[in-house]
Amino acid sequence: MPSGKTVKFLFLEILEFTALVAPVFVVLERFAGLLLKTTGDTTTYWLIVSVSIAYVTTVTLLAWAPLEYMVLKRRRFITEITQWRPTILAYLVLSTAPCFGIIIASSTVQVEPELDSFTELPVSLVLFSMIIVDIVEKLWPYHLLGPTNDFDDDMILSSPVLTHLDTVNSVSGQLPPEYVQGEDTPNGVAHYEPEVHNGAPSGRWQDSTPTRPMYTSSQANSSAYLYAARQRDSWGPLEILWQRDPRAEIFVESFMFWLDTVEMVRMGGVPEVFFSGWVYPVYIFSFLSCLRLAITPNNPIHSWAGVVFQDFPFFVLRLALLAVHGYVTPVLFLMKNLLVCLTYVYFTLLTKLKIFRRRSMF
């Protein structure tokens, strides 16, 4: 019997590979069927189908398989990459970009628009596969069976919790001998503050004025605890309401993260947009938005990339489409793009100006 790690590895790898090749096969087959309806040439249909098979085989052998092997074996140049995800970037370049290109090409070869709008199934499959690859990459650190030990929901509290305070006799008792009352210190008191490294005190002291008050107690207990506001035991059978699991939240967050891009691509499928020149910027900006997927989760550059690659271009494009074609997209998404851009500029740039740093302001 194979081990659990082997089963997990095979399952996730097969899922990723299916998400890579399925959109390519579906989009190219639909494109071949569209050409068959337009020209009536069966040779063209089978030629495109054979091209899709050759493309998937070549990409798998020359790009996808070597990359997965290097990631699995943790080659040096792969382990040094910490700000972006090579597997996701390869997926976007090898699968998402060609699919979007074929969808754009399908809008230009149709003489009769009613033949095939070429929107719902291929586009939904492309975006769904992209989200699945993102979810798979985030699921690698977790177990697929049983409860996870990587997420202690007892630490998710509604109020701060203070844990284990050691006894502190006095301030001078915590200072090195050279800082105890002596002739070199005015009034017998030394000025000190902890030296901070990486956001945490190092335990070493420097001769300077403290930046914040130090709270001490001469008769403190060896440990003290503040009770959390949430006590699950009192809920009885409703304790299940407190259950949280990061694996389930990964699915929710991944789908919610791409709602704006999904709406943009849906708008590109509207006949007024799909059979006009506006289909090009719609899919180009949608692909640029997908490039954010290659950035590692919780990377600080996510906010900047979201504004530059998605919200600002989407706002300009939606505003233009509303002016030309009317309400082809909900105004809600237009306001979302506008507010995200304004708040990003205000809180990251304007608040650093001197006029916005006055203490008298609210």
pLDDT in tens, 290-307: 999 999 888 888 889 999
What is the distance between the alpha carbons of residues 136 and 250, in angstroms, rounded to a whole number?
A: 9
Q: What is the mean pLDDT of the chain?
A: 75
Q: Which pLDDT score, from 0 to 100, does residue 158 have? A: 38
Shared domain check, 110 and 215:
no
Q: Given pLDDT bands bounded at 50, 70 and 90, which one contains residue 192?
A: very low
Residue 47's alpha-carbon distances to 25, 122, 326, in angstroms, are 13, 20, 40
Shared domain check, 214 and 280:
no
Shared domain check, 15 and 161:
no
Q: Is the CB of residue 346 less than 8 Å from the CB of residue 339? A: no
Shared domain check, 32 and 127:
yes
Domain range enclosing 85: 4-151+244-356
Q: Does 239 map to a domain? A: no
Q: Please determine, for residue 97, whether its predicted confidence score (pLDDT) is greater than 90.
A: yes
In sequence order, what E strands does 78-138 have?
Answer: none
Q: Does 238 map to a domain? A: no
In sequence order, what E strands does the chain have?
Answer: 193-197, 200-206
What is the distance between the alpha carbons of residues 310 and 298, in angstroms, rounded to a whole number?
A: 17
What is the distance between the alpha carbons of residues 311 and 315, in angstroms, rounded to a whole number?
A: 6
Q: Which pLDDT score, from 0 to 100, does residue 149 have? A: 60
Which of 3-7, 194-198, 230-234, 311-315 is predicted with the least confidence, judged by mean pLDDT?
A: 194-198
Average pLDDT of 109-115? 61
Shared domain check, 331 and 184:
no
Q: Please determine, for residue 191, whether its predicted confidence score (pLDDT) is greater than 50.
A: no
Q: Please determine, for residue 227, whether its predicted confidence score (pLDDT) is greater than 60.
A: no
Q: Which pLDDT score, from 0 to 100, does residue 73 have? A: 80
